[in-house]
């Protein structure tokens, strides 16, 4: 199916050999070593937004092989898995499914109402329906309830800015609690905030929104280098600085893997190669031991900044030929070849 089959085979064999090595150590009674940063022996998963089959195929035409991880966005009352996502499942892709606390008609679903829902209530039935769909999907799926809860776009879901963190935590626990009670065993749950939120100490601080280790399997952020596309005085930022707070928060939760479920950079109008170099730096960064908790990187592929903002921030890899080539190089790197989400850390 792909133009670079031999490369895919080599990557698959390398990942399989690593798995056999770990299994052999366990069988021999030798303790497994802690997970290493991204490497051929310990690859992490990469991917992009996968809204539908054509978008997925377009990614794979650029890379020349399967794009393993796919970020999918749904509203509260959306049908969670369409035929394109069933096709993605059946062709070996892994879905990271975000469910927003808002209906298709744009009406907001309040977090305190979710937390208070009881059997027989409409919201309770909604959650049972979501649980049935996830369970019937029949493959491992990574669920994000209302990503970036601390951001301004989520303000309507809370009763006030001060109440938002506690209300979100209660809603998260209610949603996941109902899924678990309904017998969902094929899902893992990913708390996802903005990368900037992990670096703040005001009402936009992401940390008070964390539902707790018993309710979360992975900790993720969405991180961007805006460059000067929204503010001519803003500085160019490398990925290490962008996710610094996220990484430090992860150190406080060492049994959880870390994920970057959206990432990208604006272009530099004065240096057409700067974004490509920035992506090259990302490729090198997660091979460093300080980033060994990271298990997944999903590149943003979309232009969701409203046109009337006149920002023109093109965070996707297709913003230039050089950026596209840099992203394809990262995707083909054997250190980023995991076909399933690896255990990070490897305990």
Give the lowest-confidence range in 5-9, 228-232, 326-330: 5-9
Assign 36 a pLDDT band (cuts: 50, 70, 90). Answer: low
CA distance 190 to 144: 5
**Would you tell me how many other CB atoms lie within 10 Å of the CB of residue 121?**
13
CA distance 161 to 158: 7
Q: What is the pLDDT of residue 311?
A: 52
Does 28 score more than 90 pLDDT? no
Mean pLDDT of 86-92: 97
Q: What is the pLDDT of residue 184?
A: 98
Give the Å distances, CA to CA, from 291 to 55, 259, 330. 29, 11, 16
Mean pLDDT of 124-148: 98
pLDDT tens-digit series, residues 242-278:
999 999 999 999 999 999 999 999 999 899 999 999 9
Q: What is the pLDDT of residue 228?
A: 85
Mean pLDDT of 124-133: 98
CA distance 86 to 75: 18
List the structure tokens of 27.
Answer: 């069988």
Does 22 score more than 70 pLDDT? no
Nearest CA to 268 among 232, 296, 217? 232
User: What structural domains does the chain harbor?
Assistant: 5-22+41-336 (3.20.20.80)
| Cα of 33 vs its chain's centroid, Å | 26
CA distance 263 to 241: 13
């Amino acid at each position: 199916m792909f133009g670079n089959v031999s490369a895919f085979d080599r990557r698959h064999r390398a990942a399989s050999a690593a798995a056999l090595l770990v299994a052999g150590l366990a069988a021999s009674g030798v303790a497994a070593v802690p997970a290493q940063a991204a490497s051929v022996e310990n690859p992490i998963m990469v991917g992009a937004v996968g809204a539908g089959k054509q978008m997925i195929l377009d990614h794979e035409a650029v890379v020349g092989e399967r794009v393993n991880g796919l970020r999918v966005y749904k509203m509260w009352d959306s049908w969670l898995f369409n035929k394109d996502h069933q096709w993605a499942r059946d062709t070996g892709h892994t879905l990271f499914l975000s469910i927003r606390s808002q209906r298709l008609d744009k009406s907001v679903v309040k977090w305190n109402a979710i937390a208070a829902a009881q059997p027989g209530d409409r919201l309770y039935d909604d959650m049972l329906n979501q649980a049935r769909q996830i369970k019937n999907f029949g493959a491992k799926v990574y669920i994000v309830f209302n990503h970036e809860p601390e951001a301004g776009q989520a303000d309507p879901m809370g009763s006030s800015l001060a109440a938002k963190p506690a209300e979100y935590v209660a809603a998260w626990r209610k949603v996941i609690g109902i899924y678990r009670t309904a017998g969902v065993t094929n899902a893992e749950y990913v708390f996802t905030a903005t990368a900037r939120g992990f670096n703040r100490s005001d009402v936009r601080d992401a940390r008070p929104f964390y539902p707790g280790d018993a309710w979360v399997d992975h900790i993720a952020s969405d991180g961007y280098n805006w460059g000067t596309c929204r503010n001519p005085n803003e500085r160019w930022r490398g990925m290490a600085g962008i996710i610094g707070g996220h990484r430090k928060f992860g150190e406080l939760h060492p049994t959880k893997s870390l994920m970057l479920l959206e990432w990208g950079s604006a272009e530099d109008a004065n240096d057409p190669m700067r974004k490509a170099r920035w992506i090259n730096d990302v490729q090198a960064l997660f091979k460093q031991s300080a980033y060994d908790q990271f298990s997944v990187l999903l590149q943003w592929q979309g232009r969701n900044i409203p046109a009337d903002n006149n920002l023109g921030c093109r965070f996707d890899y297709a913003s230039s030929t050089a950026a596209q080539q840099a992203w394809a190089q990262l995707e083909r790197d054997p250190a980023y070849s995991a076909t399933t989400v690896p255990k990070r850390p490897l305990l």
